[in-house]
Structure 1
């Protein structure tokens, strides 16, 4: 088949090579051969991701690194996830992807809510990601999950002006309402 020729694959048959050949513009993730395609994020999503990135970066210890998404996390063969934010050890940063995380953050949207709450939660737990945060910008609510054994337990759910003092992956205060306000306060 000539390069650039579109081809149709049966669900469950997508590979990393197929993923790499897709055009830019949409968000593509691969989970067990299933291709997940979602639209670009909304303004509230991007604002929350940016604000949380600033908070995490400001408090991040030197042995760790904070990255905005999309950056590939490959927890296992056949899986490529794109967390909205991630924290990893500096030594785990590859050229194109990261194989180990200490924190994955997903900013919820109507198109990703179920995937983030159910599917990604299970995949991050299976990969041993110590902490998983879900932030709902519309509700100004942060849910913090921490890995205990092989499953996540809910450590905290904070809303609005409540302060969450994280200890994993490092000490950092997070105020949900501050994550949805513009940086310049306008």
Structure 2
């Protein structure tokens, strides 16, 4: 995708225009007519994501669920973020978007350049879409912040730091040790 694509576009972006961009080297998300473009994640970020996916993979399969990285999640028409990782129920693997109702857990790895987006904007949008569990991971110290949605808002369920253990029972049964996610 080139800057010319953005420069030649007038007005808010529709979901159809957004999807017509196709696969891009940048992470391009759609928020209510505006595109949010971020550079590729750092190697540290990707290491954490890969390790988390590895920890979740077998327990998710045992529960009949799927673990996916960097996919479009349609929260509502015109609102399509790309979370770092999601755990979903049964989905159509050939669709461009995963519907929010199919997401059981959404994970974001906080990057210094866009932590406000994950802590405020996305947290609000994921809760409004009814995604029950939200896991935020701090890159610098590995802390895991687990939130559960109640009445359309996330409430902190637990904070797990290096040396401690996060015991998930929903949507999958798994033990996560923060230090095992860090490079």
Q: TM-score, normalised by structure 2?
A: 0.89
Distance in 2 separating the partners of 1:119 and 1:78: 15
2:108–2:135 contact (8 Å) kept in structure 1: yes
Hey, what does 1:46 align to over in structure 2?
46
Distance in 2 separating the partners of 1:9 and 1:161: 51
SS in 2 for 1:119: helix
Q: Is residue 175 of structure 1 aligned with residue 177 of structure 2?
A: yes
Distance in 2 separating the partners of 1:168 and 1:146: 10
Shift of 1:148: 1.6
SS in 2 for 1:111: coil
Hey, what does 1:15 align to over in structure 2?
14
Structure 1 residues without counterparts, runs of 5 or longer: 182-186
Query: Residue deviations 1:53-79, cap 9 Å, x none?
Result: 00010211342111111x110010110
Shift of 1:92: 6.3
What is the RMSD of the two structures over their aligned residues, measured on CA atoms? 1.7
Query: Residue deviations 1:82-131, cap 9 Å, x none?
Result: 01000111146552211021110001101220000001001110111010
SS in 2 for 1:106: strand
Structure 2 residues without counterparts, runs of 5 or longer: none
Hey, what does 1:75 align to over in structure 2?
75
Distance in 2 separating the partners of 1:41 and 1:122: 22
- Alignment CA distance shift 1:68-1:36 (3 Å): same
Shift of 1:21: 3.8
Hey, what does 1:184 align to over in structure 2?
none
Q: TM-score, normalised by structure 1?
A: 0.87
- Alignment CA distance shift 1:92-1:145 (3 Å): farther
SS in 1 for 2:181: helix
SS in 2 for 1:90: coil
1:161–1:178 contact (8 Å) kept in structure 2: no
